[in-house]
Amino acid sequence: MLVAGLARRSHLISGGHFLVESAVDEVEPLISDFLDRHLSKASPDA
């Protein structure tokens, strides 16, 4: 079920348990994009 206005994204990155440490160059832009999209919706004063 999709909620109106929400899209799902999946990224498969090989790295195991310590993915952020082992693939930081690949993971950081994905995390930043996610936070930019979701935090801007959560705080209308920002």
Cβ distance 11 to 19 under 8 Å? no
Residue 7 lies in a domain: no
Domain count, the chain: 1
Residue 2 lies in a domain: no
Q: Which domain holds residue 34?
A: 13-46
Closest CA to 34 of 17, 15, 14, 11: 11
pTM above 0.85, yes or no: no
pLDDT digits (tens, 9 = 90+) for 13-46: 888 888 888 889 999 999 999 899 888 776 666 5
Residue 17 lies in a domain: yes
pLDDT of 2 higher than 60: no
